[in-house]
Structure 1
Amino acid sequence: MLVTVTYLQATDPATLAPPSSPRPSSFTLERVSEPDPRLNSRLYCAVGAGWSWTDRLGWPPEEWARWLAVPGRETWVARVDGEIAGYAELAGETRDSAADGGTEVEIVYLGLLPAFTGRGLGGHLLADVLVRAWALPERWPGLPPATRVWLHTCSLDSPHALANYRARGLEVYRTERLERRVALPSS
């Protein structure tokens, strides 16, 4: 199957555009204080099942623990009325190749559980995660200030994902088409 991968970024936190829909009063986003491989695995599977997320399906708990233990990596959980609605994983890294020597923060995964899609929550989740991404170096001593926040999406993700990313102020900087062998989600 031919898959289009789109890479987006922001290089200035001032470009963040909030959602136009009202924020649900019961919507919260909280950082997972202690790495929890089982939580990340469960959320990855639950959110990604409908979008052909497969690259981590074979990870044993030890691999999840190794990934989460790297300084600058964070998990954020969205809740609605106290119930988990979605999540995001952030990874901050100082790039030697970055001309400014700043921290680049990747939004590695972001998504809502199926029961919470279609409610206008995606824009709020993304906007809140972008604020946390820009502030990530403040929570990790030794990381210089963030100079870039980026992510990628593909044509297998939610049909609303790309529009949401652009509406929040992220700009496309690269697109590629790749041949991928994927197992399409069952309906």
Structure 2
Amino acid sequence: MRSGDGAANRQTCDETFQVREFKEPNWIFNRDMYVAVGETWKWIDKLPWTDEQWNQYASDPKLRTFAGYYDNALAGYYELRRNHAPSAPSYRDEYKGEVEIAYFGLLPDFIGRGLGSALLTSAIENAWAWAPTPSRVWVHTCNRDHPNALYNYQAGGFKIYKIEEGEPTDG
């Protein structure tokens, strides 16, 4: 799914919801949130990763991690990943300068409170604000996400770019 040319104009739920960026890599947070958020939806692609793989992933300078807090309690997270232009032209040139909302979700106790749209608004705004301005912001969703994920992304200004059908893979 692709976002328009800027952040959607959406209101956050209230003043008790805050989003903070990790200024230093914290692979344990990335791993633990991936597991805690993704368990319900059967996210499995990173489950076999070692601590070293998680550390390497979270330390990538093209990855930014944000945590959402509701009334000072950890409620969710998202990761933004920048794709830079390759040094040599290739079929991937269409992805140069993009920012992907790589992982996004709420902890189970915070689903259904209207926080998903506030968290997504933060993700979109931070993606577009990441200098240099990206050529596009996008997110991938599938049947291993919350049933309202597609609706939330569309309400946030994303448009369906491509639909793929087939059996989900484990890797």
TM-score w.r.t. the length of structure 1 is 0.82
- Structure 2: 5+ residue stretches without partners: 87-91
Other structure's SS at 2:23 match: coil
Distance 2:133 2:56 in 1: 25
Distance 1:167 1:11 in 2: 12
Deviations 1:124-162 (Å, cap 9, x if unpaired)?
00011100011122xxxxxx4211101111022111100
Query: Which residue is equivalent to 2:10?
Result: 18
Other structure's SS at 2:135 match: strand
Distance 2:50 2:73 in 1: 26
User: Are 1:9 and 2:2 counterparts?
Assistant: yes
User: Are 1:32 and 2:22 counterparts?
Assistant: yes
CA RMSD in angstroms, aligned pairs only? 1.8
Higher strand residue share? 1
Query: Which of the residues 78, 83, 93 maps onto 1:88?
Result: 78
Query: Which of the residues 145, 149, 159 maps onto 1:157?
Result: 145
Q: Is the 8 A contact 1:102 1:145 kept in 2?
A: no
Distance 2:27 2:20 in 1: 17
Query: Which residue is equivalent to 1:127?
Result: 121
Deviations 1:8-57 (Å, cap 9, x if unpaired)?
0124115x1415xx622110000011111111111000000000100011
Give the aligned residue type for 2:80. Answer: L
Distance 1:70 1:168 in 2: 27
Aligned length: 165
> Which 10-residue stretch deviates more, 54-63 or 109-118?
54-63
TM-score w.r.t. the length of structure 2 is 0.90
Give the aligned residue type for 1:26. Answer: T
- Structure 1: 5+ residue stretches without partners: 1-7, 138-143, 183-187
Runs of 4+ in 1 over 3 A off after TM superposition: 96-99
Q: Is the 8 A contact 1:11 1:147 kept in 2?
A: no
Indicate how the Cα distance of structure 1 residues 170 and 75 shifts in structure 2: closer, same or farther if over 3 A, else same. same
Indicate how the Cα distance of structure 1 residues 93 and 181 shifts in structure 2: closer, same or farther if over 3 A, else same. closer
Deviations 1:31-88 (Å, cap 9, x if unpaired)?
0111111111110000000001000111111101111222121100000111100000
Other structure's SS at 1:153 match: coil
Distance 2:4 2:134 in 1: 9
Other structure's SS at 1:74 match: strand
Query: Which residue is equivalent to 2:165?
Result: 177
Give, in angstroms, the shift of residue 181 of structure 1.
Answer: 5.3
